[in-house]
Amino acid sequence: MVRNVRAVSRGVRKFLAVLAGLAVIYFGTTGRAAEEGRGITGGLVVLALLAALLVWYLLKPGGDAAR
């Protein structure tokens, strides 16, 4: 039973990390002026990866409470 709880936790963690990265890309592309273009820049991709890693790190289970 503990194995299933960890798997769900890891799945939710992965989902929220991907969602955070996609949110950064979405808001980064929709907030631009028309003359700037609609593409995804390299800086935006790096920012999305950093946001996803931050969510992944902050939702990491730790200590005895996770066991």
pLDDT in tens, the chain (67 residues): 445 555 557 788 899 999 999 999 999 888 777 777 777 888 999 999 999 999 998 888 765 555 5
Other CB atoms within 10 Å distance of the CB of residue 15? 11
Domain extent for 35? 2-66
Q: Please check whether residue 21 is in contact with residue 46, taking contact to mean a CB–CB distance below 8 angstroms.
A: no
Q: pTM higher than 0.85 for the full model?
A: no
Structural domain count of the chain = 1
d(CA 23, CA 29): 10
